[in-house]
Structures are given as C-alpha cells and as structure tokens.
Structure 1
C-alpha cells in the first residue's frame, strides 16, 4: 500500500461507512425512502442490510430473469430466501427485470409485493410518468 498502513486504510473505510450511514439517516429524517439496488450482485452485502437504514431491497434482475431458465430452481431459492429474510427485518422487497407473466406468477406465489420491469412498463421520462399518474387518477374517479 502506498503512503500508509493497512490499518489506516481500514480506518478510512470505516469512517466513510459511518459518514454514509449518518447521511442516510438524515435523508430518512426528511421522509426519503432508502433502497439497496441490485441486491445479490457486485458489492451488495448482508452487512448493508444489518448496518444501514435500508427501507427496500431491490433483487437484481439476473435472479428474476433466471426463474424459468436453466438455473431456475437456484434463482427461485435465492429469491425466496431474500424475501423471507427481508420480511423478518421489516424491509420491503422489489424484484427488478420482470418481463413475463410466468415471472409475475412466481413472484406473487413467493409473496413479493413489488416488482418492476418491461412486463409493466418500459422506462418512462418524468413527463410520461406525470401523464400516466394523471390518467390513472382520472380513470378512478366516480
């Protein structure tokens, strides 16, 4: 390591983590929801669920899209485990990358309340989203 010891590096990481945690708490204080994206891939960690003030965990699309594929059973077990764990620690779950009715059916059986993906809508601009909200609001009036 250049310019310092491993211990100094670790302390720096811990300081950064504490700063991140404090900033997330400030956001929650003003009613902002915190979501951990792409859970199960990359740098996502169970430590984040334990130590950060997370409201939602978003299961990575690789697991959702794999539900019906070659490794379907493994994807199903992973999704079920994340949903079960999240319920136990009062964190909502969102499944990303939902593209088919079969995926929706499976996620409903797995008691996943929230999902996103092309099955529901393609990505929308802010203006398109506002228009959809207005249309939905008007369609539900008596």
Structure 2
C-alpha cells in the first residue's frame, strides 16, 4: 500500500480531514517490510518525512534484517521485539541484555530512537531504563486501553 502513488495523498487528506498534527504521527512497519523494496520505500519515506511523519521499524530482531541494515534504514524509530525482553532483568540473561544495549547504542549514534516492546515486570523495566531506551511499551506500563480509559488513567489522574 505504501508504494501505491495514492498512499501519500490519502495520508495528506486524512491529516487534513481530522486536523491531526503530523509530528504526532508514527507510521509503524514490520522489520520485514524494510527488506522488500528499500529504494521504493525510501522515496515514500522521504515524502512522509516532508509531511513531518515519523517512521518506526517494528519487531526489530525477529525478521530478515541485520544490525548492518540500520545504517541504511530510513526509520526514525526502531522498536525492539519483546522476544528479547523476556527475562532480561534476570542475571542469567546476559545475551539479551547485551543485544538490546548494543542496538540502543548503535541506533543513538546514527540518530535513531529506540522503543522496547513487551516490558511486563519491574526488573525488566529497570534494566531497559538503565540501557537508556527512549520509549518503553508493555503490560507493566499498561495494557491496551480504549480512548476513554486512557484519558481517565493518564489525563485525569
């Protein structure tokens, strides 16, 4: 769909129709999408960036890409898959902790933000925070909420 010429027009119309600030929009694509047709995607991403929309690579570490792909990635945000978070706070899980720390450092060096998905326990949160992730998602923070529940929990509190 993103490679369809009408996609950018659809995005523009949607932003205008709902009066959405483009800088608050993040378009998430799974890691495997970044491997398909990188040159065509780069042009679509350039047009989206001109609108101030950010691009996130979701499920990083589970698909086809490698750390080397990050140097060519048009993503603004990399979302590390929860597969690497499970038991990260446990002392015996040095590989996952080192992997996540290395990805965060590498991404930060090239100007890419990092979001860690799947944080479900306090020790996982503490470990991810110590590794300086930019964003954390997971049930430890909150389960998915309807808009009304979100507003009640976070804006009215």
User: What TM-score bracket applies, with the shorter chain setting the length?
Assistant: 0.7 to 0.9
Q: Are positions 1:31 and 2:87 aligned together?
A: no
Q: By how many angstroms is 1:64 displaced?
A: 1.0
Unaligned ranges ≥5, structure 1: 1-13
Give the TM-score normalised by structure 2.
0.68
Structure 1 CA distance for aligned equivalents of residues 73 and 58 of structure 2: 13
Distance verdict in 2 for CA 1:27–1:48, change over 3 Å: farther
More helix by share: 1
Residue 27 of structure 1: SS of its match in structure 2?
A: helix
Correspondence for 1:58 among 65, 79, 89: 79
Distance verdict in 2 for CA 1:19–1:106, change over 3 Å: same
Q: Are positions 1:120 and 2:120 aligned together?
A: no
Tell me what 2:63 maps to.
42
Give the TM-score normalised by structure 1.
0.75
| 1:1-142 → structure 2 map (5 Å cutoff) | 16-68=37-89, 72-132=93-153, 134-135=155-156, 139=157
* CA contact 1:36–1:54 (8 Å) conserved in 2: yes
Segment of structure 1 superposing worse, 84-93 or 67-76: 67-76
Aligned residues: 123
Structure 2 CA distance for aligned equivalents of residues 35 and 74 of structure 1: 24
Greater CA radius of gyration, 1 or 2? 1
CA-atom RMSD, angstroms? 2.4
